A and B are shown apart, each in its own frame.
Chain A
Amino acid sequence: DVKVTQSSRYLVKRTGEKVFLECVQDMDHENMFWYRQDPGLGLRLIYFSYDVKMKEKGDIPEGYSVSREKKERFSLILESASTNQTSMYLCASKTGGPYEQYFGPGTRLTVT
């Protein structure tokens, strides 16, 4: 079974704090993704990575950065958290080609 794990299920941070969200997959997938999910808006792609140290912006990268130093690990960084970054954050991974993405359980981040 493919397993995608995320470092926290729930996280509460203060405005201006630096926040790290970690994602680890155990299936040697090349591609990894970070989404945020908000009611009525669906999943929106923040960043993705198609190889170690490679990254590309998704649809809403502003206020976020990412790091992929090892194939199995993809980190999302909020440099200075703001209240409008309160959301559910989902990580996903997939192998190359027309295959499905496998999602982690999500991190519900609240910024106060």
Chain B
Amino acid sequence: GQNIDQPTEMTATEGAIVQINCTYQTSGFNGLFWYQQHAGEAPTFLSYNVLDGLEEKGRFSSFLSRSKGYSYLLLKELQMKDSASYLCAVRDLNDYKLSFGAGTTVTVRA
């Protein structure tokens, strides 16, 4: 099975940086996804890591350490529109299954 932990809530100021951590203990690992979900909307894909290291996409970066069972999502130059829930999801050894953490709600304040 999968056990995926991430903080429940985080608050930050507009223009600041926030780091959302995700730790996982899994029976199989084949990559890690980050999704963004605004209230009342569908989750949308942000990033995918399968090898150790940092992947950068504009203001968002995601890091993975497979040996530590650890990932983080870094949001830079925060904007009000970044207020959302951020979901960490681990891909199983089979191609199909994703196991999701409970999500981290980020609130950006002016």
Residues of A bordering B, CB below 8 Å? 4, 31, 33, 35, 40-45, 48, 50, 56, 58-59, 90, 96-98, 100-106
Docked-complex contact B48 and A105, CB < 8 angstroms = no
A98-B30, A98-B31 as given contacts; A104 in contact with B95, CB under 8 Å:
no
A31–B92 CA distance with the chains assembled, in angstroms: 14
Docked-complex contact A31 and B44, CB < 8 angstroms = no
A45–B97 CA distance with the chains assembled, in angstroms: 8
A38–B31 CA distance with the chains assembled, in angstroms: 24
Q: Is the interface of B mostly helix, strand, loop or mixed?
A: loop
Docked-complex contact B102 and A90, CB < 8 angstroms = no
Extra contacts besides A97-B95, A103-B42 (4): CB < 8 Å: A43-B98, A48-B96, A98-B50, A104-B42
Bits for B25-57, please: 1 = Cβ < 8 Å to A, else 0: 000001101000000011111001010000000
Residues of A within 8 A of B103 (CB): 42
Interface assignment of B78: CB less than 8 Å from any CB of chain A: no
Residues of A within 8 A of B100 (CB): 35, 42-44
- Interchain residue pairs with CB less than 8 A apart (17): A31-B96, A40-B8, A42-B100, A42-B101, A42-B102, A45-B98, A48-B96, A48-B97, A58-B97, A59-B99, A90-B42, A90-B43, A97-B95, A103-B43, A105-B42, A106-B41, A106-B42
